[in-house]
Structure 1
Amino acid sequence: MTFLVDTMHFILGYIVPFLLVLTLLVFVHEMGHYLVGRWSGIRILAFSVGFGPELIGFTDRHLTRWKICAIPLGGYVKFYGDEDAASTPDYAKLETLAPEERDRTFLGAALWKRAATVAAGPIANFILAIAIFAVLFSIYGKQIADPIVAEVKPDSAAAAAGIQPGDLLVAIDGNTVKTFDDVRRYVSIRPETPIVIQVKRKGTSLDVPMTPRRTEITDQFGNKVELGIIGILTNQETGNFRLQTYGPIEAVGQGAIESWNIVTGTFKYLSNLVTGRMKADQLGGPIRVAQASGQMATIGVAAVLHLAAVLSVSIGLLNLMPVPVLDGGHLMFYAVEAIRGKPVGPAAQDVAFRIGFAMILMLMVFATWNDISSLLG
């Protein structure tokens, strides 16, 4: 009986939230491809959420098969003239088509139409993230505090640099900071990276150089993560904590800013990996996403939506990487085609797609290994 209860708790607490979040992100991504493809006059054979055997589906009046498949770890739009779900052209079939039929295939479409159709997937993910953040900011607002130091931790980077309680942090590396969270966000992704904080102290402006220390912290769920820390705190009295509310238009702007912060943070993390300032064990796969979905579900719908927005930006960004098989890889080929005046040859594309698939597979295996190690550790 205990095993059954634990199993149901695991399914309802982790698997269901994970599948709901993932399905939303996949559906929106593929809908971007679908809508622009349809608008471009390309015939669409299938719209699938998931891979593998079809579980349920229907065929619409445009002869597009809409379906949900058994393996819920992605999705695809299959265009007329494609050999498979990765949009590999079926060259043998294309040669047999009449000109008017070939024009309705993906390969037969104008270069700009193909590029727009491919780019629409990641763009749809960015739009979804902005929309989710905008809704959250409109409904819940945003808790903010002034960037004023209330406490400096002993033996910290800030203490060593001479930061004092009461200091107003004006800018970091020339970038203006308006809230205490702006400081935290900037510092957290720059462990072991020298920075200069512009401080206003009793009417005097000071430039204070320091280096955030790479520190492992544990969140409320017991997850461990490494961040850059300088060792300053604020409080209600000093920081003037307050709820900032936004109208619809302002909320959209804030949603765009929040999404852009995730993009820049991601690139900074990748830069830190290359330079050795951060470890690669923070790269997570589907297991960690499922765990995070379940943890956010215990907090509430807003937390789940926030996670969905973060993941939507991440998926959009990942798909724009110039790796064959991903959308960015296709866009890279189209850029070459625009320069050369003719498409990259089938043999070269085939080799590139195989290499790209191997790279993605290795990344997935590595991320999944990190997930398992995190659970066991």
Structure 2
Amino acid sequence: METVIAFIVIFGTLVAFHEFGHFLFAKRAGIMVREFAIGFGPKIIAIRKGETLYTIRLLPLGGYVRMAGEDFDTVELQPGYRVGLLIGRSGEVEKIYLNRNVANPDVLFLETESSDLEKELYIEGYDDEGQLVRYNVSRKAIILEKGQETLIAPYDRQFESKSVGSRAMAIFAGPLFNFILAFFIFLAIGLLQGVPISEPTNEPIISEVKAGSPAQMAGMEEGDYIKVVDGKPVSTWMEFSKVIQDNPEVPLQFEVDRNGERVKLEIIPATVKEKGKEFGRIGVVYESPVEKNPLKAVAFGAEQTYTWFMRIFELLGMLVTGKFSIDALSGPVGIYKATEEVAQFGIYSLMNWAAILSINLGIMNLLPLPALDGGRLLFFLIEAIRGKPVSKQKEGMVHFVGIMLLMVLMLVVTWNDIQQFFF
């Protein structure tokens, strides 16, 4: 249960911060945001504040910010269509009823002759007496149909009305906020846990022994300096760790230096399964000395963000060149299992994991692939070069194909995860 909560909190925070970037810069550009959603599928919670509906949906596997004009959400009243109008004190239409049965006696009905709910903001038609009348429509008018309310979106509040730069920034802000979130998480780790005083020595010195672990039950203590494992001298943490990993459920003989005294221990590494392979673990941690310094914590946050950005970017390069197999990729199942493993090492390990996932989410969304933020940014670049946008139909088709391919990739990766972790 703790893993489920940790997974939902981490993934929900990453998605919320990503979408908040889109939301904030869309609002700054004057774009109407119709919905800010965390998750997909049926709504669990829905709260309307101003012109935006804030929702939490059933499937916590993503989120979205729905901007006016992005998905053909504008309403066109065809000639001959009968509508009901509620006129406000200013003389402008405040509500437009598309239902034919409206109980409100203040509603005026007319048969539409022409209308423009984006630029000129008017409705013209014939009333019940056959007179041709024209009404101006409020910029904040609401359209009601079958109990659903939709704000009209004047053209200057729509996504497509903004400059290429403003639109690109509204899209780029999502990944950008993931990098910002990672920086603040690393900063928090530096402030709360401390910043390493020096480069790790990599010596096999035990910094922490986990409660209930094979190491604790065998009598290993914090500060023990590992000298010999299974008859072989070890001089680095990596050498020590490799012996443990390669020998799950195998009794190993240890010689440790404890305050100048040689102590012999026998430990049987427990078995853990990762990516379909079994490894041994005894439940010990290596950490270098730390200090708490706010200025160094800021530098630590920036350094860690840059370091992990470059590492993930390099891994993507290896994937493209074939040096990195697609089988090594993880989907939601793999991330969940990894979160379960990381959670065993405490809150700071979870925070570090969340920061790495945030950077990964930002980079993945910047890839120039259809349906991703990077794919949309690519279309903006083409528009800037051509001087005119690619037609919505063509762009929509490219994104649709991209979504289908991403869904197939997600299914393949998820199936690999299930096979590796559960079979």
- Using the size of structure 1 for normalisation, the TM-score is 0.68
Structure 1 residue aligned with 2:19: 30
Contact 2:195 2:293 in 1 (8 A): no
Alignment of 1:102-141 (within 5 A): 102-141=155-194
Structure 2 residue aligned with 1:350: 396
Pick from 351, 355, 367: which aligns with 1:305?
A: 351
When residues 140 and 107 of structure 1 are mapped into structure 2, their CA distance, relative to the original with a 3 A threshold, is same
When residues 19 and 220 of structure 1 are mapped into structure 2, their CA distance, relative to the original with a 3 A threshold, is farther
Structure 2 residue aligned with 1:222: 273
Structure 2 residue aligned with 1:16: 5
Deviation at residue 305 of structure 1 after TM alignment: 1.2
Where in structure 1 are there 5+ consecutive unaligned residues? 1-11, 84-88, 152-164, 167-179, 182-217, 227-235
Pick from 304, 326, 337: which aligns with 1:258?
A: 304
Between stretches 112-121 and 97-106, larger displacement belongs to 97-106
When residues 220 and 264 of structure 1 are mapped into structure 2, their CA distance, relative to the original with a 3 A threshold, is farther
Structure 1 residue aligned with 2:374: 328
Task: Decide which structure has greater helix share.
Answer: 1
When residues 335 and 21 of structure 1 are mapped into structure 2, their CA distance, relative to the original with a 3 A threshold, is same
What is the rounded CA distance, in whole Å, between the counterparts of 2:405 and 2:300 in structure 1?
Answer: 35
What is the rounded CA distance, in whole Å, between the counterparts of 1:219 and 1:119 in structure 2?
Answer: 45
Structure 2 residue aligned with 1:190: none
Structure 2 residue aligned with 1:51: 40
Deviation at residue 275 of structure 1 after TM alignment: 4.0
What is the rounded CA distance, in whole Å, between the counterparts of 1:317 and 1:77 in structure 2?
Answer: 19
Deviation at residue 330 of structure 1 after TM alignment: 0.9
Structure 1 residue aligned with 2:57: 69
After superposition, what is the alpha-carbon deviation per residue over 1:213-242, rounded to whole angstroms, capped at 9, x for unaligned? xxxxx998432599xxxxxxxxx9xxxx74
What is the rounded CA distance, in whole Å, between the counterparts of 2:6 and 2:271 in structure 1?
Answer: 19
Contact 2:39 2:58 in 1 (8 A): yes
What is the rounded CA distance, in whole Å, between the counterparts of 2:375 and 2:27 in structure 1?
Answer: 22
Greater length-normalized contact order (CA 8 Å, ≥ 6 residues apart): 1
After superposition, what is the alpha-carbon deviation per residue over 1:97-140, rounded to whole angstroms, capped at 9, x for unaligned? 11681010111112111111101110000000010001101211
Deviation at residue 297 of structure 1 after TM alignment: 2.4
Deviation at residue 290 of structure 1 after TM alignment: 1.2
Find the residue that maps to 2:273 and give its secondary structure: coil
After superposition, what is the alpha-carbon deviation per residue over 1:273-309, rounded to whole angstroms, capped at 9, x for unaligned? 3444333222000011111222222322212111111
What is the rounded CA distance, in whole Å, between the counterparts of 2:76 and 2:379 in structure 1?
Answer: 21
What is the rounded CA distance, in whole Å, between the counterparts of 1:225 and 1:299 in structure 2?
Answer: 21
What is the rounded CA distance, in whole Å, between the counterparts of 1:262 and 1:77 in structure 2?
Answer: 27
Where in structure 2 are there 5+ consecutive unaligned residues? 78-115, 121-138, 140-153, 205-233, 239-268, 278-285
Structure 1 residue aligned with 2:387: 341
Structure 2 residue aligned with 1:371: 417
When residues 361 and 219 of structure 1 are mapped into structure 2, their CA distance, relative to the original with a 3 A threshold, is farther
Deviation at residue 351 of structure 1 after TM alignment: 2.2
Pick from 400, 406, 421: which aligns with 1:360?
A: 406
Find the residue that maps to 1:45 and give its secondary structure: strand
Find the residue that maps to 1:103 and give its secondary structure: helix
Instruction: Give the RMSD, CA atoms, in angstroms.
Output: 3.2
Contact 1:42 1:105 in 2 (8 A): yes
Structure 2 residue aligned with 1:98: 119
Deviation at residue 357 of structure 1 after TM alignment: 0.9
After superposition, what is the alpha-carbon deviation per residue over 1:12-37, rounded to whole angstroms, capped at 9, x for unaligned? 13322111111101110001111111
When residues 148 and 360 of structure 1 are mapped into structure 2, their CA distance, relative to the original with a 3 A threshold, is same
Find the residue that maps to 1:107 and give its secondary structure: helix
Structure 1 residue aligned with 2:249: none
The amino acid of 2:12's aligned partner reads T
Instruction: Report the structure number with the largest CA radius of gyration.
Output: 2
User: Would you identify which runs of 4 or more consecutive aligned residues in structure 1 move more than 6 Å?
Assistant: 147-151
The amino acid of 1:73's aligned partner reads L
What is the rounded CA distance, in whole Å, between the counterparts of 1:261 and 1:224 in structure 2?
Answer: 24
Find the residue that maps to 2:160 and give its secondary structure: coil
Contact 2:275 2:421 in 1 (8 A): no
The amino acid of 2:19's aligned partner reads E
The amino acid of 1:70's aligned partner reads L
Structure 2 residue aligned with 1:292: 338
Identity %: 33
The amino acid of 2:33's aligned partner reads I
Contact 1:138 1:245 in 2 (8 A): no
Task: Decide which structure has greater strand share.
Answer: 2
When residues 108 and 220 of structure 1 are mapped into structure 2, their CA distance, relative to the original with a 3 A threshold, is farther
